[in-house]
Amino acid sequence: MDFLWSLFSPKSRHRHFARLDQQGICLCFKHCAVPPEGTGWVEICEPKLCWLRQPLPASARVSPRLRAITARQLLSF
């Protein structure tokens, strides 16, 4: 039964983040499951070394994710 629930449970995916300074220059990258604490972190689609010390392109940013409804929440209705 646990196997069936695991099919519908959310996976902890690692996401990519970039830290930007006040001018929008990319300082570093981070790969983690939850957003990093602190200021200047934005989620990106993938890290590219050519973005370091350069302005981050607008196409690199990921739009905020909406929280998905899990199978357990659907079954509770």
CA distances 49 to 9, 27, 28, 53, Å, are 34, 11, 9, 9
What pLDDT is recorded for position 23?
94
Range of the domain at 28: 2-75
41, 18 Cβ separation under 8 angstroms:
yes
pLDDT tens-digit readout, 14-63: 899 999 999 999 999 999 989 999 999 999 999 999 999 999 998 999 98
Q: Which 3 state secondary structure label does DSSP give 63?
A: coil
pLDDT tens-digit readout, 38-50: 999 999 999 999 9
59-64: which pairs have CB atoms within 8 A and are 24 or more residues apart? 60/18, 62/15
What pLDDT is recorded for position 65?
62
User: How many structural domains is the chain composed of?
Assistant: 1
